[in-house]
């Protein structure tokens, strides 16, 4: 079946199978920043924005995304907020292998749009679905708190 | 692996129901988030996103939530933040992540009567009705005992009353499903409602304990009664014996919170 996705502001007609999930379609289209981890809705590395809201691309049918706007890391590359978030992560040593970073950055980006000055508790609640094997979360939390402090 | 032959996005619930009934192997889908975890074949996946079932509204003393509303929308609703001292937000936030809640729907969470469900346990202690397209409106506790296979959850209706509520759970880590959960509520006339879920069977009201609390104040005894009137089972998460032991503790914590 044919669907229309607006990916990073570009309208694309895509041929998909009704069984396919959005993650596989995005990777097939070379949006390789979108990672496949658990593929069961648990790890958050497949996070993309759908109509501005963070969603798990592994857990939403591609057909259900028909007509919606999808944003991946490639789509916010030139946004100063992207630079601010990734610099904060780099400065605090909060990314090691980097596999979780695209999903994490997109979720922090979405949090910034939704919550103006989040408390530590709100940050933790918002990011609970972004698992990281490497950092132990301490430097990530430090970096994200710093990002919001500077932003405020 | 989930195998879907065809996908359909109807413009009305009537159209969705007509396909659900007339096409063998047709199924309603929320986002597919939970369905995908099981291996199944679906001839027609019916997606309700264009049927006008995405809303949270307050009408007189009823809170109405559309069956295709993502949990995240419910969580962000100003109405839900206001009612029951905002306690429903706490329940919703116990359901995994922001990203999951932005896709998982009310229908996909209530209709399959999942045993570990946190939302069902909590909604049972509020006066909640389920509205099904074909089978009509019924209390949630009745819906949970009915064997309805093919229907569409159109709406949830929660009575907006002055009711204090508490939701308690036990899980190995936040990343896990509840091993056991319990909710308690009380209105101004001291009408208590108590539910226990994830036993691992789906939540049920503890009617004997609720009755006992009409004329008695002994919370310890009420918690024991509530725990005793339930059946428990073992699964990968916990044994029957463990669940039985922690049940009165969760109920007591809830009662203490609402009585304060
Ligand atoms: C990783 C993960 C963690 C989770 N953690 C928790 C947790 O901690 N606590 C908790 O309570 N829940 C948890 N859940 C379950 C979650 O709350 C939802 O129940 C589930 O994700 C439903 O998703 P969905 O709306 O996409 O439904 P789908 O997966 O699309 O559908 C699920 C079922 O519901 C049926 N259905 C969907 N909508 C309707 C409707 N309107 N009418 C009739 N039938 C319908 C479908 O036919 C299907 O059988 C978790 C789920 C996942 C994937
Ligand atoms: S790959 Fe989607 S949550 Fe892990
Ligand atoms: S930096 Fe390696 S998984 Fe997070």
Interface contact B99-A64, CB threshold 8 A: no
Residues of A with CB under 8 A from a CB of B: 1, 17-19, 21, 40-42, 44, 47, 50, 53-56, 59-61, 63-64, 66, 107, 110, 125-126, 128-131
Chain A contact set for B2 (CB, 8 A): 19
The tokens 């346990």 sit on which residue?
B121
Average pLDDT, rounded, for chain A: 96
| 8 Å CB contact of A18 and B7 | yes
- Ligand sitting nearest the alpha carbon of A38: 2
Q: Which ligand sits closest to the CA of A129?
A: 2
Q: Could you tell me if A120 and A138 are in contact, meaning their C-beta atoms sit under 8 angstroms apart?
A: no
Instruction: Tell me which ligand sits closest to the C-alpha of residue A143.
Output: 3
| B63-95 residue pLDDT tens | 999 999 999 999 999 999 999 999 999 999 999
pLDDT surpasses 80 at B175: no
Which helix or strand (DSSP H or E) is residue B228 part of? helix B219-228
Atom nearest to A41 CA in ligand 2: 3
Q: What are phi and psi of B118, to 5 degrees?
A: -85, -40
Span B157-169, pLDDT tens digits: 999 999 999 999 9
Q: Is the CB of B121 under 6 A from ligand 1?
A: no
Mean pLDDT over residues A27-45, rounded? 96
φ/ψ of residue A53, rounded to 5: -105, 140
Three-state DSSP at B148 gives coil
Q: Is the CB of B105 under 6 A from ligand 1?
A: yes
Please give the ipTM for the structure prediction.
Answer: 0.97
Q: Is the pLDDT reported for residue A40 higher than 80?
A: yes
Indicate whether residue A54 lines ligand 2 (CB < 6 A). Answer: no
Mean pLDDT, range B26-39, rounded to an integer: 90
pLDDT (average), residues A42-67: 98
Confidence of residue B100 (pLDDT cuts 50, 70, 90): very high
Sheet with strand B163-170: strands edge to edge:
B163-170, B180-187, B192-197, B204-205
Residue B68 contacts residue B54 (beta carbons within 8 Å):
yes
Amino acid B174: pLDDT: 79
Q: What is residue B89's predicted lDDT score, i.e. its pLDDT?
A: 96
Residue B38 pLDDT level (bands cut at 50, 70, 90): confident
Rounded to the nearest angstrom, the distance between the alpha carbon of A39 and the centre of ligand 2 is 4
pLDDT given at position B36: 85
Across the A/B interface, how many CB contacts are shorter than 8 Å?
Answer: 84
B100/A129 Cβ within 8 A: yes
Cα A116 from Cα B70, distance rounded (Å): 23
Distances (CA, A) of B114 to A32, A148, B180: 35, 38, 13
pLDDT tens digits, one per residue of B111-127: 999 999 999 999 999 99
In the predicted model, is pLDDT for residue B1 greater than 90?
Answer: no
Q: How confident is the model at residue A91 (pLDDT cuts 50, 70, 90)?
A: very high
Mean pLDDT of chain B: 96
What pLDDT does B110 receive?
98
Residue whose C-alpha is closest to residue B103's, from A24, A131, A60: A60
Question: Is residue A105's pLDDT more than 90?
Answer: yes
Tell me the whole-structure pTM to 2 decimals. Answer: 0.96
Q: What are the structure tokens assigned to B29, written together?
A: 């889908």
In this predicted structure, the answer to whether residue B173 has a pLDDT above a threshold of 90 is: no
CA distance A99 to chain B (A): 18
Task: Provide, as residue numbers in chain A, all residues whose Cβ is less than 8 Å from the Cβ of B33.
Answer: 41, 56, 59-60
CB < 8 Å to A47, chain B: 99
Query: What are B225's two structure tokens?
Result: 């009664």
* Beta bridge partner(s), residue B39: none
Query: What is the pLDDT at residue B101?
Result: 97
Q: Residue of the nearest CA to atom 4 in ligand 3? A: A132
Closest CA in chain A for residue B98: A126
Residue A64 has, within 13 A of its CA and on its CB side, a CA count of 29
Mean pLDDT throughout B191-219? 97
pLDDT the model gives residue B37: 87
Q: What is the pLDDT of residue B148?
A: 95
Please tell me if the CB atom of residue A76 comes closer than 6 angstroms to any atom of ligand 2: no
């Amino acid at each position: 079946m044919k669907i229309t996705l607006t990916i990073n502001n570009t309208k694309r007609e895509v041929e998909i199978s009704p069984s396919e999930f959005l993650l596989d379609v995005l990777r097939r289209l070379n949006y390789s920043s979108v990672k496949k981890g658990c593929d069961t809705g648990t790890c958050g590395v497949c996070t993309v924005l759908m109509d501005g809201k963070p969603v798990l691309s592994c857990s939403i049918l591609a057909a259900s995304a028909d007509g919606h706007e999808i944003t991946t890391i490639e789509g916010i590359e030139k946004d100063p907020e992207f630079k601010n978030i990734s610099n904060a992560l780099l400065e605090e040593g909060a990314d090691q292998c980097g596999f979780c970073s695209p999903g994490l950055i997109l979720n922090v980006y979405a949090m910034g749009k939704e919550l103006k000055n989040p408390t530590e508790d709100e940050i933790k609640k918002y990011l609970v679905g972004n698992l990281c094997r490497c950092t132990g979360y301490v430097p990530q939390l430090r970096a994200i708190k710093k990002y919001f402090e500077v932003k405020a | 692996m989930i195998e879907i032959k065809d996908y359909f996005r109807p413009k009305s619930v009537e159209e969705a129901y007509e396909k659900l009934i007339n096409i063998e192997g047709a199924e309603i889908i929320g986002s597919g988030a939970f369905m995908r975890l099981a291996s199944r074949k679906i001839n027609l996946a019916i997606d309700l996103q264009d049927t006008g079932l995405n809303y949270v509204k307050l009408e007189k003393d009823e809170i109405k939530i559309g069956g295709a509303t993502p949990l995240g929308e419910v969580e962000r609703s100003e109405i839900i933040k206001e009612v029951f001292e905002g306690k429903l937000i706490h329940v919703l936030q116990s359901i995994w992540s922001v990203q999951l809640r932005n896709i998982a729907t009310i229908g996909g969470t209530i209709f399959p009567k999942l045993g570990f469900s946190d939302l069902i346990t909590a909604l049972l202690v509020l006066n909640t009705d389920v509205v099904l397209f074909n089978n009509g409106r019924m209390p949630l506790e009745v819906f949970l005992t009915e064997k309805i296979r093919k229907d569409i959850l159109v709406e949830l209706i929660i009575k907006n009353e002055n009711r204090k509520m508490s939701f308690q759970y036990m899980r190995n880590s936040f990343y896990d499903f509840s091993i056991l959960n319990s909710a308690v509520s009380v209105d101004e006339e001291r009408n208590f409602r108590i539910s226990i879920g994830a036993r691992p069977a789906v939540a049920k009201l503890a009617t004997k304990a609720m009755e006992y609390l009409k004329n008695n104040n002994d919370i310890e005894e009420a918690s024991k009664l509530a725990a005793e009137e339930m059946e428990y089972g073992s699964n990968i998460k916990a044994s029957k014996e463990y669940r039985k032991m922690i049940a009165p503790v969760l109920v007591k914590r809830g009662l203490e919170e609402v009585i304060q």
